[in-house]
Amino acid sequence: MTSVRLRYTVKRRGKLFWQPTPEMRALGFLPKPLGDDGPEAQEAALRLYRGWLKAKQERGIVTRYPTGSFGAFYDRFKRTTTWAKKGARTREDYERAWKRIDAWRPAALDPTLSRTTISRISTELCEQFFDHLEKTVSPNERHRTVKWLKVLLADAVVRLRLGYASPAAKLVNPQPAGRSAIWLGAEVEKLYTTAAEQGYAGMSLAIRIAWEAMFSPVDVWNIRPAELRQDSGGWFIERRRIKTDKVAFGALSEEAAAALVAYLSAQDRAEADETPIIRQRNGQAYRSKDTFGDDFRTVRGKAFPGDTRQFLDIRRSANVEADAAGADRQTMGELLANGLADNKFLEETYTPATVTKAREVASQRVQGRAKLAGEIMRMRSKST
């Protein structure tokens, strides 16, 4: 019994920690502090171990779909090295698209698209599915679903050696126009102030960090204690972006840093606890963009009733503010850790993002904030 309790655990300073292997992490078993080493922590470790054994057993079930069906191929695809190399966010996109593929039935007596024999999936069937999506979901959802449908069917043609072109190859899947909504600095301040007043302390801090550090929503709610740093210039955040795995720096003002440190201190964490800092009102870490988005919409509804702008617009707004002050695109590309400036490999190697640049842009944004606010007010006065 003792050996079972201690499987995949380590003990540090009298506390027990769950430490799964890379294989286990791939199935969703992540490191976790279990508390003081004792009956409760050992029982928690045992429950996690039993869960792992069950997951291993279920993984042995090859597929629940008919042999030769699209669903059977998808289950096979998820056991390949190609799937294993995909990031968590990409896998989420596949699964999100698959839910629609798995549910759609072309006619009352026909099998769902997922249970259709893959060699019988025709271009016409793919076009019918496309038409169904255009009538029932948003352009963004349609684009996302069809994108992964095309990828999966193209992979199936090659992997299964079907000998013909993918039936989805000719689907024209236009990408919807990108979002352009922005928040002004004063509006962002009202958002995080309202969040705090409504008891959403974690969301208040998340809004503030997104605005100052220019991080995406998923990067904000996944910030760990070890990523909070301090040097002679003040506090900053250094982390690898979840989507691109590139290092990103976020400079913090003294006020935001003080709020973050106070919030972290109030959590009474174990020394080795590296779970996300930002929490829901119930004390739990955010696990999905749906829950995170729900909380933001609640706050937005209190601060700006009827508004439809989103949390993800905050990052764009910060970039617009910096651009208004003349920040160059290459520096912004480095700080945002994306392809904004189309940096090449050597440029990324010899001109990496630094916290110094983050602070320089933060200073420029103060100038841009005033220019942008004046421009918005001018445009509003002309429309009245």
Which of 223-227, 299-303, 369-373 shows the lowest per-residue confidence on average (mean pLDDT)? 369-373
Q: Quick check: 349 pLDDT over 50?
A: no
Which of 37-41, 89-93, 310-314, 353-357 shows the lowest per-residue confidence on average (mean pLDDT)? 353-357
Q: Yes or no: say if 154 and 169 are a contact pair by the CB < 8 Å rule.
A: yes
Q: Provide the pLDDT for residue 351.
A: 34
pLDDT, average across residues 275-295: 91
Domain that holds residue 327: 185-383
Mean pLDDT, the chain, whole residue set? 83
Claim to verify: residue 270 and residue 351 sit in the same structural domain: yes
* Residue 166 domain flag: no
Claim to verify: residue 265 and residue 195 sit in the same structural domain: yes
Higher pLDDT, 186 or 1: 186
Higher pLDDT, 375 or 54: 54
Which of 179-183, 222-226, 372-376 shows the lowest per-residue confidence on average (mean pLDDT)? 372-376
CA distance 292 to 311: 9
Higher pLDDT, 379 or 347: 379
Claim to verify: residue 93 and residue 192 sit in the same structural domain: no
DSSP string for 279-290: B-TTSPBP--HH
Q: Tell me the per-residue pLDDT of 98-108, one tens digit each, with 9 for 90 and over.
A: 999 999 999 98
Q: Quick check: 184 pLDDT over 60?
A: yes
Claim to verify: residue 244 and residue 374 sit in the same structural domain: yes
* Residue 164 domain flag: no
How open is the CA angle 122-127-133, to the nearest 5 degrees? 130
Claim to verify: residue 199 and residue 298 sit in the same structural domain: yes
Claim to verify: residue 238 and residue 129 sit in the same structural domain: no
Q: Which of 59, 79, 105 is the last residue of a domain?
A: 59
CA distance 123 to 168: 6
Q: Which of 124, 159, 194 is the last residue of a domain?
A: 159
Distances (CA, A) of 40 to 44, 46, 267: 6, 10, 20
Q: Quick check: 266 pLDDT over 70?
A: yes
Residues of the chain above pLDDT 70, percent: 83
Q: Which of 22, 40, 59 is the last residue of a domain?
A: 59
Claim to verify: residue 214 and residue 318 sit in the same structural domain: yes
Residues of the chain above pLDDT 90, percent: 42
**Domain with 269 in it: what CATH number?**
1.10.443.10
* Residue 263 domain flag: yes
* Residue 221 domain flag: yes
Claim to verify: residue 289 and residue 189 sit in the same structural domain: yes
Q: In 3-state terms, the chain is what percent helix, strand and coil (to 5)?
A: 55, 10, 35
* Residue 11 domain flag: yes
* Residue 65 domain flag: no
The amino acid sitting at 322 is A
pLDDT level of residue 383 (50, 70, 90 thresholds): low
Claim to verify: residue 53 and residue 74 sit in the same structural domain: no
* Residue 147 domain flag: yes
Q: Provide the pLDDT for residue 325.
A: 64
* Residue 277 domain flag: yes
Claim to verify: residue 115 and residue 205 sit in the same structural domain: no
Claim to verify: residue 195 and residue 130 sit in the same structural domain: no
Distances (CA, A) of 106 to 37, 112, 116, 121, 129: 56, 7, 10, 11, 7
Q: Provide the pLDDT for residue 343.
A: 38
pLDDT level of residue 28 (50, 70, 90 thresholds): low
Claim to verify: residue 88 and residue 23 sit in the same structural domain: no
Number of domains in the chain: 3
